Amino acid sequence: MIQLANAKTTEPGPHAGLCEGKDPDHYYMIRHPWAAYGVTFQELQQAMERLKKDMPEKGWKVVKYGPDTSPAKTLELIADSTQKDFSVAIHLLDERKKQRESRIAVSLVSRCYKTPKGKTVSAS
């Protein structure tokens, strides 16, 4: 949906995280932060517009689109999957004034999962 064929993406990939307020030995969530960069700011802006338009057609409910609460008023898109237990926060980071590369930062998170009976997070 992002359609940035010439963009580069960051690593490393998904990892398990803790669930706030839950037993850390038996509850976990999946997090997958990444970013797209290496294209013009205008291309990044267009990608954000495409995401806002196309995500509902691909099984996502956009719950927020607009400036976030930071002093920079960064453009933010927050969406929940209508088919799976995932949410995503996407930010358009304008770094042009800082002479750095602008990017779209994506943070995908799952709901909390419980380990199977007799297993722990570190042993699962």
13-47 tens-digit pLDDT: 898 888 989 998 899 999 999 999 999 999 999 99
Give the pLDDT score at 123. Answer: 60
Strand partners, 34: 106
pLDDT single digits (tens) 92-114: 999 988 888 999 999 999 999 99
Q: Give the global pTM.
A: 0.86
The string of DSSP codes covering 1-44 is: ----TT-EE-----EEEPPTTS-TTTEEEEEEEEEEESS-HHHH
Give the pLDDT score at 16. Answer: 87
pLDDT single digits (tens) 42-99: 999 999 999 999 999 999 999 999 999 999 899 999 999 999 999 999 999 999 888 8
Pairwise CA distance, residues 102 & 122, whole Å: 36
Give the pLDDT score at 75. Answer: 97
Confidence of residue 1 (pLDDT cuts 50, 70, 90): confident
Say what percent of the chain tops pLDDT 90.
73
Give the pLDDT score at 59. Answer: 96
Q: How far is CA 40 from the centre of its chain?
A: 20
Instruction: Say yes or no to pLDDT of 124 above 80.
Output: no
Q: Where are the domains of the chain?
A: 37-115
